Amino acid sequence: MLSIKNLQAKIDDKQILNGINLEVKAGEIHAIMGPNGSGKSTLASVLAGREEYEVTGGEVNYLGKNLLEMEPEIRAREGVFMAFQYPVEIPGVSTINFMKTSLNKIREHRGQSALDAVSFLQLMKEKIKLVEIDQSLLSRSLNEGFSGGEKKRNEVFQMAMLEPKLAILDETDSGLDIDALRIVANGVNQLRSKNNAIIIVTHYQRLLEYIAPDFVHVLYKGRIVKSGTKELARELEAKGYDWIKNELALA
């Protein structure tokens, strides 16, 4: 589904990604871990199409197409979804109206007809159960005045509504208490299928206790320096990132 080859990227004049290689197949969950500043969020941002980042080399192939050439909205319509680390507050735009516009744009792209108000509400009611979010929250301005946990649940709710093929969760666990973490993880697990893939970007292992990844990759200084199964995540939790750094220094 996703094939990243020797991806390099910079922001301003700072080189951050120094040649990432990653293969993600449908049905797989990949966790990208790494110490602060290793380039995890940059990787997520480059995949979602954030314009501040300049790709300086390499390629990203998504379902046979060059992902890097697509505008962010086209990536979304093609099935890429990023759950934001810091979801933005947008005053005056309600989550419901926003989701309706978004969903119908994506449906249009897939050659499906727009959902009418009734079917949209039905779908919404079904999906909000997944993340245990209060419906009244969704009539309010997007993320405005939401708690940290509510914002993250809103991200997973949007993911459930849009049914992406490739979901990238950028530090979705940061700032969550244990209950919210469980709810978010539960939502993600229910969306897991053999047809879609999920990339979880995280600093900690704790989310991976709830969402079992097939592969764990450690990012350090803009490169994937170690890959393994979920055992690797446990090892990292126990030994810390210094273990990796030391190992690399020795090598």
- Summarize as ranges the residues that interact with another protein (CB under 8 A): 48-51, 71-73, 75-77, 81-82, 84, 87-93, 98-99, 101-102, 105-106, 109, 141, 158, 162
Q: Least distance to another protein from the beta carbon of 52, Å?
A: 8
Shortest separation between residue 225's beta carbon and another protein, angstroms: 28
Shortest gap between Cβ of 162 and another protein (angstroms)?
7
Q: Are 49 and 77 in contact (CB under 8 A)?
A: no
Nearer to another protein, 108 or 247 (CB): 108
State the DSSP code for 163: -
CB of 65 to another protein, least distance (A): 16
The SS3 assignment for 234 reads helix
Q: Which is nearer to another protein, 164 or 187 (CB)?
A: 164
Please state the closest distance from residue 105 (CB atom) to another protein, in A. Answer: 4
Closer residue to another protein (CB): 88 or 250: 88
**Comparison of 29 and 159: residue with beta carbon closer to another protein:** 159
| Cα 68-69-73 angle, rounded to 5 deg | 90
The contacts found for 119-128 with CB under 8 angstroms, 24 or more apart, are 123/161, 124/96, 124/99, 124/161, 127/157, 127/160, 127/161, 128/157
Q: Least Å distance between CB 101 and another protein?
A: 6
| Residue closer to another protein (CB basis): 29 or 168 | 168
Q: Which of 51, 146, 135 is nearest to 96 (CA)?
A: 135
Query: Using the 8-state DSSP alphabet, how is residue 69 labeled?
Result: G
Residue 99: partners with Cβ closer than 8 Å, 6 or more residues away = 124, 138, 158, 161
Instruction: Of 246, 247, 240, 248, give the one whose Cα is nearest residue 36.
Output: 240
Tell me whether residue 152 or residue 226 sits nearer to another protein (CB atom): 152
